[in-house]
Structure 1
Amino acid sequence: MHGYRPGEIEPTTELLLAHKHPADREHVAAAFARSIERGEPFSSQHRFIDTSGDEHKVMVVADRIDDDTGVAVGTAGFYIDLSGTLAQNRRDTIAEELPEMIEARAVIEQAKGVLMRMYRLNASQAFDVLVWQSQQTNVKLRDLAEQLIAEIPALPPLRPVW
Structure 2
Amino acid sequence: MPLTVRSPVAGRVIPTDEVPDPVFAGGLVGPGTAVEPTGDDVTAPVDGRVVKLHPHAFVVQSPDGPAVLVHLGIDTVQLGGEGFTLHVVEGDEVTAGDPVVTWSPAAVRDGGRSAACPVVVLEAPPEQVELLAAPGSDVSPGDPLLTLWA
Fold conserved between structures, TM > 0.5: no
Larger Rg: 1
- Between structures 1 and 2, the one with greater helix share: 1
Whose relative contact order is higher, 1 or 2, with alpha carbons under 8 Å and at least 6 apart?
2
In the superposition, the TM-score normalised over structure 2's length comes to: 0.21
In the superposition, the TM-score normalised over structure 1's length comes to: 0.20
